[in-house]
Amino acid sequence: MYLLIFYTNVYGLKPEVAAVMFLIVRIVDVIWDPLVGAFVDKHNPKLGKYRSYLILGGIPLTDIFYKAGMALGGVVPGLVMAFVGFDQTNEVSQSPFAEQGILWLVAVIPALLLLAAMFIISKYGLEDDVIDNINREIELRHKGGE
């Protein structure tokens, strides 16, 4: 969803073009996902059933950040290639627990750090006159630095 907003607001694509791009990617996804699932279930590599694909899947994932499609035919084919490439390599290179890790990184850990900061600040006694003195010193430094 955020990618659709990015394509329309930042790249300036028409919403219809962006919607068709997403439709193409989902159609490819309908075919690709069962193939990848069957391939992974059928093989049992030396590093482990899923671990080897997680390790090796990162290599093609880096290739989608080159703007090859942009040079070949314009912005829309390049964006479609990047989106399809990311979506397909993402199937192989991310574990089912990646979403849980992202949740911890963007929500839980910052919330815990916020609670720790609030506790530290509550124990640090800072009176109004001390704050006023700090503000005066900052203003004097800015006036002296001009």
Q: Where are the domains of the chain?
A: 2-95, 101-145
Residues 81 and 64 sit within 8 Å (Cβ to Cβ): yes
Taking the C-alpha atoms of residue 5 and residue 2, their distance in angstroms, rounded to an integer, is 5
Top pLDDT among 65 and 133 is at 133
Question: Tens digit of pLDDT for each residue in 45-64?
Answer: 887 777 777 777 766 666 66
Q: Residue for token digits 């080159």?
A: 66
- The secondary structure of 36-69 as a DSSP string is HHHHHHH---TT-TTHHHHHHTHHHHHHTTS-HH
Question: Tens digit of pLDDT for each residue in 76-108?
Answer: 666 776 676 666 666 655 666 666 776 777 788
pLDDT band for 18, please (50, 70, 90 cuts): confident
For residue 114, which amino acid is it? L
Is it the case that residue 137 has pLDDT exceeding 90?
A: yes
Taking the C-alpha atoms of residue 4 and residue 91, their distance in angstroms, rounded to an integer, is 20
